[in-house]
Amino acid sequence: MIDAVQRLGIDYHFEDEIDQILQKQHIISSTTAHGAHDPTDLHEVALRFRLLRQHGYFVSDGLTNPNLSDERIEFTKSVSFIYLIDDIFDVYGTLDDLILFTEVVNGWEIGAIEHLPDYMKICFKALYDMTDEISCKKLNKVLVSPNPFPAAFTKASLNLARMMNKATIVEDAITYIQELQQKVDFLKDQLFEMEASSAETLQPNKEETHAAEEMKKFGIQTEVNVTKIDGNKLWVKTVLEKKRGGFTKLMEAMTGFGFELTDTSVTTSNGVMMVSSCITGFCCDKLEVEQTRELMLEIINGI
């Protein structure tokens, strides 16, 4: 509690209470012999030692407690590895090897050591085994403890275990499969719609097919006539196959190329569409007229 209050920065509101608690803890730690009343949690020992020393109380570090024998051994192993790895970084390792070693340690996968130098493989393997050993010992202590978990956690775990019986597991599995089946059906419907849409797109329109046949029947071909009127104004007459949306596409393309259209007229007959219009935007010498004609042919072929 004292540590939490200090971390929150509000300990100055509880100076008297903190002092009373620390005095009591100092008396207990000074008069109690090493035995059943001494804490066996290394974190608790270290925290009490730090708080008492910070407030001017002389106390032992507590590591001489025989109940902390395993903790002292594991602590010594950890310190030894700190010195060992420090020597690897300061003396033996190259920059590339150290970067790779750091990545392997961060990933904590024993199978990733194959690219390390031999001495780093030995170091990581020993570190991995030591950490696993300490973890197993700590877990065994927790499991054999009379009450290894808080009561609230134990109660919640029991309730969850009761809920997770075979019936609920099977029911959840069935629900999940049904949801997957619904998603599959939805994707199938979308796929059928896409295929149908593609088929309609690829299938030639009957009206357009008829228009092409009509043009061929009457010997009519696509053509563009461009005539100079005066200044930079041209008269353009276009004969093309009648298609759905063809006139709109033609106007949009001509406008996109910078033509300004006036006096536009449209005539359709026998599958043919004839569009005539005055356009401005180009100099009207012979070369520009020919370029305009070629450009109009490209536009028509692209419709």
Is residue 69 a contact partner of residue 40, using CB atoms and an 8 Å limit?
A: no
Tell me whether residue 154 is in a domain.
Answer: no
Which of 64, 80, 112 is at the close of a domain? 64
Q: State residue 215's pLDDT score.
A: 67
Which two tokens mark 168? 């609920």
Residues 39-71: tens digit of each pLDDT = 556 667 777 777 887 888 877 655 556 666 777
Do 228 and 294 fall within a single domain?
yes
Q: What pLDDT digit, counting tens, does each position of 211-233 carry?
A: 667 767 777 788 888 888 877 78
* Max avg pLDDT among 17-31, 116-130, 204-218, 269-283: 116-130
Whether 56 and 95 share a structural domain: no
Residue 152 resides in a domain: no
Query: Tell me, what's the pLDDT at 158?
Result: 47
- pTM for the model stands at 0.34
Assign 299 to helix, strand or coil: helix
Q: In the predicted model, what is the mean pLDDT of residues 101-105?
A: 91
In a domain, 156, yes or no: no
In a domain, 51, yes or no: yes
Q: DSSP code of 4?
A: H
* pLDDT at position 122: 92
Residues of the domain holding 119? 70-144
Q: What span, in angstroms and rounded, lies between the C-alpha atoms of 264 and 248? A: 13
Distance CA 94, CA 275 (A): 79
Alpha-carbon distances of 86 from 5, 52, 73, 91, rounded to whole Å: 36, 32, 20, 8
Predicted pLDDT at 153: 47
260-269 and 233-241 strand pairing: unpaired
Residue 218 lies in a domain: yes
For residues 27 and 95, state if they share a domain: no
DSSP 8-state secondary structure symbol assigned to residue 262: E
What is the DSSP secondary structure assignment for residue 39, as one 8-state letter?
-
The residue that leads in pLDDT, 243 or 144, is: 243
12 HSE (CA, 13 A, CB side): 1
Question: Last residue of a domain, which of 42, 64, 86?
Answer: 64
